[in-house]
Structure 1
Amino acid sequence: MSAPTAGAPRVAVITGADSGIGRATAVRLAEAGLDVGVTWHTDEKGAERTAEEVRGKGRRAAVTRMDLTRLPAAADAVEELSDALGGRIDVLVNNAGTGTSTPFLDLGLEDVRRVLDVDLVGPFLCGQKAARRMIGQGGGRIVNVTSVHEHQPRVGAAPYCAAKGGLGLLTQVMALELAEHGITVNAVAPGEIATPMTGQEDTDVRTEHRPGVPLGRPGDAREVAAVIAFLAGPDASYVTGASWSVDGGMLRMGPMAGSHLTGDDWRRP
C-alpha cells in the first residue's frame, strides 16, 4: 500500500462488521493502527459493539446501515464512512454476505437476485466507490471475502456459489485494472468458520470435531481476520489477484471434502 501522507490516519471500511469475520477484522485492523468504518444490515447493536471494541484499541470508529439489496444507493455507505473518518479510505473489506439452502429447482428469482446483489453486485459497486478515492490518494487495498465455494460447489447453494465464484473472478479483473493505480485486490475464501452465519457464535473451535476437515475443527473468525490484516498491511505490497483459502485444508480434499462427513475413514487409504 502506498504510504498515507504525513500525519494522515489510515482508514478501513468493513461491510457486515456487526459480528463474525467482520467484527474480528475490525478489531484486528484497529490493533494495526487503522480507524474503522463499520456497516450493518439488521444488527445495529452488534455494530455498535464492534465500534466500541475499535475505540477500545485507541482508534476512531464510525457506523452506518447498509442494505445491499437496495442498489446502487447502498454503496454510498462507503463514501459516508470515509467522510466521517476524514475523507480517506485506505482499505476496503467487502465482507457482507448472505446465502440460501434451497435446491436449484425450487429457487425463486427474487431469492437469486437477492443473493447476487448482496454477494456480487454490492461488492462490485463498493469496490468502485473505494477505488476512485484510493486513486486520488495514490493507492490502497481491497479485500473481497468470498468462500471456499468460490472454488468448489455446494448442493443447495446455487446462487451463493454463482455469486462467490463471480466475486473471485471479479477480484482478478480488479487486480489487473487497478494495479497501475497502486491498488491491490485479493480474495479471502473461508471454509466453515464459527460465526452467526454458520449457526455458531463465540464457539471454542478447539472443542468442535469436524471429520471432514483435515485440521479436524471449524475455523475461528480471528484466523480469517489475520489473513485479511496481512493483505491490508505493508508486508503484502507485492500480493494481488490471489485467492487465499482459510479452510483448515478442506479444499485440498477435492471431492471428498465436506462438513457432512461423520468419520475419519478418509484419513486411511
Structure 2
Amino acid sequence: MARRRAVVTGGSSGIGRATAVLLARQDHDIAIGYRSDVDGANRTKALVEDEGGKAVTFRLDHAEPEQAARAVDRAVTDLGGVDVFVNNAGVNHRGKFLDESLADWQRLLAVDLTGPFACAQAVARRMVEQGTGGRIVNVTSVHELIPIDGGSAYCAAKGGLLMLTRVMALELAEHGITVNAVAPGETATPMNGVPEHVDAAAIDRPMIPVGRPGRAEEVAALIAHLASDAAAYITGSTLHIDGGLALMGAIPNQAYAGRI
C-alpha cells in the first residue's frame, strides 16, 4: 500500500513531534513545520526517518498568516500531496484582561487563530483539488470552553478555533474531508517548561482529577486515531484529553500551577 502523507505544524517538540513520529510508524510520510527551532525539527525528521518515513522540514510563522499558508502549500508540494493535516502550532500566553495590550491580543489571535485558519484553508484547497478526501485535526485546548484567569486572548483564540473546526467540518464533508479538534489539558512538554526526559507521572497536579499532566504521546495517539480510516464517521467533534480537568470548571491562577 502507498504511504499516506501528513503535514504537522509545531513539529519540533512536544505534541507535534510525538504526532509526527507516531504517524510515521503508521505508514505516513511527514512534512514537519517549525518556527525557530531548526535543531528540534531536524531531530523530529531523524525520528520519522527511523520509522521508515520520508520526512521534510519547513519553516512557518503564524504571526504572518499569509506567509504561513504559502509555506504549508509548498510543503504539500514537497511531500507530493497531502492526506492528513495536523494544525498544531501555537503559543501560550497569560495576561489580565485589564492589562492586556492590543498588540499582545492581536499577536495571540494571529498565531493561535488566524494562522491556523490560513494554513488549514491552504491544505483543504489542495485536498479538494486531489479529490481523494482527507483528515484535518486542529489542536485547540481545554480552554476553548473553560475560562482561565488571565486567558482572555488565549481562550478567545481557542474558542474561535473550536467554532472554525465545526464550520470547516460542515463545509468540507461533501469533499470527503473530516475536520475534528483535539483539546488537551496541561501536557508535559518543553513548551510548558517540562524537559523531555521528565515523565508526566513525576509531576503532581492536585487540581487535575487523575493527578498529573498528560503525555505528548497520549495526545498524539488521539490525533492519530482521528487521522485514521477508523475515524471516517467522526467530524465536527472536539475530543478533550485532559485527565478530567474540564470537570473542574473555571480555573483561577492561584489554584492551578500548570500551563495549557
Q: Do both proteins adopt the same fold according to a TM-score greater than 0.5, normalized to the shorter chain?
A: yes
Contact persistence 1:38–1:51 (CA under 8 A): yes
Letter in 2 for 1:125: A
What is residue 130 of structure 1 aligned with on the other side? Answer: 123
Runs of 5+ consecutive residues of structure 1 not aligned to the other structure: 1-6, 263-269
Superposed, 1:2-17 pairs within 5 Å as: 8-17=2-11
Contact persistence 2:83–2:127 (CA under 8 A): yes
Contact persistence 1:250–1:258 (CA under 8 A): no
Letter in 1 for 2:74: E
- 2:21 counterpart of 1:18: no
Letter in 1 for 2:63: T
Comparing 185-194 with 244-253, greater Cα deviation is found at 244-253
Report the CA distance between 1:23 and its aligned residue. 0.3
Superposed, 1:153-192 pairs within 5 Å as: 153-192=147-186
Query: May I ask how many residue pairs the two structures share in their alignment?
Result: 255
Percent identity, please.
53
The superposition leaves residues 55-106 of structure 1 with CA deviations (integer Å, 9 ceiling, x where unpaired) of 00000000011011112122111111111112x1101111001132211111
CA distance in 2, matches of 1:179, 1:152: 28
Superposed, 1:1-269 pairs within 5 Å as: 8-86=2-80, 88-137=81-130, 138-202=132-196, 203-255=198-250, 260=255
CA distance in 2, matches of 1:255, 1:132: 37
Contact persistence 1:205–1:220 (CA under 8 A): yes
Report the CA distance between 1:118 and its aligned residue. 0.9
CA distance in 2, matches of 1:169, 1:77: 24
Report the CA distance between 1:8 and its aligned residue. 4.3
What secondary structure is seen at the aligned counterpart in 1 of 2:211?
coil
Report the CA distance between 1:261 and its aligned residue. 5.2
The superposition leaves residues 171-217 of structure 1 with CA deviations (integer Å, 9 ceiling, x where unpaired) of 00000000010000000000000012211122211121111111111
CA distance in 1, matches of 2:19, 2:12: 11
TM-score after normalising by structure 1 = 0.91
CA distance in 2, matches of 1:74, 1:189: 22
TM-score after normalising by structure 2 = 0.94
Contact persistence 2:29–2:79 (CA under 8 A): yes
Letter in 1 for 2:11: A
Contact persistence 2:136–2:180 (CA under 8 A): yes
Contact persistence 2:214–2:242 (CA under 8 A): yes
Change (3 A) 1:261 1:45: closer
CA distance in 1, matches of 2:214, 2:24: 21
Contact persistence 2:65–2:119 (CA under 8 A): no
Higher Cα Rg, which structure = 1
Letter in 1 for 2:181: A
Runs of 5+ consecutive residues of structure 2 not aligned to the other structure: none
What secondary structure is seen at the aligned counterpart in 2 of 1:156?
coil
What secondary structure is seen at the aligned counterpart in 2 of 1:164?
helix
What is residue 266 of structure 1 aligned with on the other side? Answer: none
What RMSD in Å do the two structures reach over aligned CA positions? 1.5
Change (3 A) 1:233 1:254: same
Letter in 2 for 1:184: T
Letter in 2 for 1:111: D
Contact persistence 2:31–2:57 (CA under 8 A): yes
